[in-house]
Amino acid sequence: MKRFVIVFALVLVAASQTVLVAQEVQGAATAASSEAGSGGNSAVWKYFAAALAVGISCIAGGIAVAQIGAAAMGAMSENADLSGKALPYAGLAEGICLWGFLVALLILIL
């Protein structure tokens, strides 16, 4: 429960910082979008969605790497031959962060 409260607080802080940055960018985006004819409010949500994609995926990847790393170290302490087999699992957990970053790039580009 304590971990959930800490993660929730970090997500709220990241979201509030994203909104503040998005409000600063909104002035420039509104000027550019008024020339293009689209609404300026969509730019705020675009940046907010990209920040959530990266933030949540990196938090989840960090939790996964922590769990896998602890289990891998425990397994390697019993049998040193397992070190090569545990490494790909840590790489898969780190890939979660990469996918979040790619989704954020797609959100910002499209």
Mean pLDDT, 10 residues at a time, over the chain (110 residues)? 75 67 62 54 86 94 92 89 85 91 92
CATH number, domain with residue 72:
1.20.20
pLDDT for position 22: 60
pLDDT for position 36: 53
For residue 66, the enclosing domain spans 2-109
pLDDT for position 5: 73
Is the pTM here over 0.85, yes or no? no
For residue 40, what is the DSSP state?
A: S
pLDDT for position 25: 62
Buried b (16+ CB within 10 A) or exposed e, 16-53: eebeeebeeebeebeeebeeeeeeeeebbebbbebbbb
Number of domain units in the chain: 1
pLDDT for position 8: 73
pLDDT in tens, 51-76: 999 999 999 999 999 999 999 889 88
